[in-house]
Amino acid sequence: MGEETASVLHHRKFLCLWSSQILSQVSVQTMNFVLLTRLFEMTGSSLSTSFLWLAYALPSVVFGPLAGAFVDARDRRELLMAANLVRGAAVFWLALSGQATPVFICCVVFLYSSLNQFYVPAEIASLPCLLPQACFPRATGLFFITQNVAVIVGFSVGGGLIRLLGVSRTLGLCGGLLVLAFVCVLLLPAMNVGPGPASSRRESDSLWGAVRHGFRFLRDQRDVFAPFLLLLSAQGALSMIIVTVPAVATELLRITARSAGLVVVVPFALGALAGVGAVPRLLVRGWRKKRVVEASLMDISLLVMALIAAVPGLHGWLRTASGSAIGFGMGLGFTGLVVPSQTMIQERTPERLQGRVFGNLSVLANITAIVPVMLSGTLASLLGVRIPLGLIGLLSLAGLVFSRRHGGQFLRSVSFKNPAPQDEAPLLSQETDEIGARS
């Protein structure tokens, strides 16, 4: 593994893209922590943090369906450059606004997230343009690690930066990191994806046609749809947990909201990092992906119940340490859901469709999570944070029971009444065969 990772790092083009990702992720995670705690301190309500998440999620519903197709049709380098530069301007605007109101904060977050709908699929879909196929899995692993390390950095230093620099200067620093990310992308070559087969070009003559083609691929490829559905569920549950983090800190752990980053979120990210190393080893040793997923569901269910029932009754440092241990375990659990499903999607999706597939994932994840996230914020504000957490624990347990009793039958029976048009069927079969041959 070490030699393969080193070979990835020998590619200068990948290093430029990875540097851009590091700077971008650290910036966005620091900004998320600053705004999350700022809104909670201004309003004292978990409902306000739910509205912040809603402002971040809605752009994927509005722009997401077109963004993935747009990424597949345009130079990905230009999209990355424009997204970094304009996102940096949006953060600077927020930093210079002085005493921003909750409504203004949500508006700027909406603008930032709108640009993110183009940036994220363009970044993921750029890897095949910069690296040989053999390096792609390791590069994807490095991207996943960066996302979790950025959470550790952003949420651990966010509180200290606020105390040292204040909210406005901290946001200005985040904007500066995005400008540096723009410079890194500037060093990349043009990344245009060549046209696909004739049927693909006919389907993609219009932007909406390309969008429909991406959804039809998901609809008709059962081995992609099943892990796609699992990934949607995991991301929805994780979004529900994120919006309740400040309330978990104050109600269950009895610490300040600003301490939630170090006590809860950083251990969660460390657990996710540990999972990145542990999950592949389990699969190499013969664990089936289904077994990894079921163990992760059990882990999440038990830890959530312990956080609700046992941790609040502990005293002092023991309560805080238990909260951190549970955060670590939850990171392991969610990694056990995300890594197997995302790996299957990446392996079985043609390069020319990856922008659309991961763009669709962002859209559907946010659409399906809107009601649960708003419900969790409302319940946490009215009835306490134990209620939404308890629902997550029960749903995880229900998923475990379903997987053990009917999981195999469900995956075998996934089908759709409306098959792909005849002129698309050869394309989908051809693209799937290409992926299988490369694997």
Is 435 within 8 Å of 350 (Cβ atoms)? yes
Q: Is the pLDDT of residue 192 over 60?
A: yes
Range from 33-37, 42-46, 303-307 that averages highest in pLDDT: 303-307
Is 159 within 8 Å of 37 (Cβ atoms)? yes
Look at residue 223 in the predicted model and tell me its pLDDT.
66
Higher per-residue confidence, 380 vs 411: 380
Is 67 within 8 Å of 117 (Cβ atoms)? yes
3-state secondary structure 142-171: HHHHHHHHHHHHHHHHHHHHHHHHHHHHHH
Is 178 within 8 Å of 87 (Cβ atoms)? yes
Q: Which domains does the chain have, with CATH numbers?
A: 11-188+208-416 (1.20.1250.20)
Is 254 within 8 Å of 319 (Cβ atoms)? yes
Q: How far apart are CA 291 and CA 371, in angstroms?
A: 30
* pTM tops 0.75, yes or no: no
Q: How far apart are CA 317 and CA 61, in angstroms?
A: 43
Least confident of 15-19, 361-365, 388-392, 410-414: 410-414
Nearby residues of 206 by Cβ (< 8 Å), 6 or more positions away:
none
Look at residue 46 in the predicted model and tell me its pLDDT.
65
Higher per-residue confidence, 422 vs 360: 360
Look at residue 303 in the predicted model and tell me its pLDDT.
92
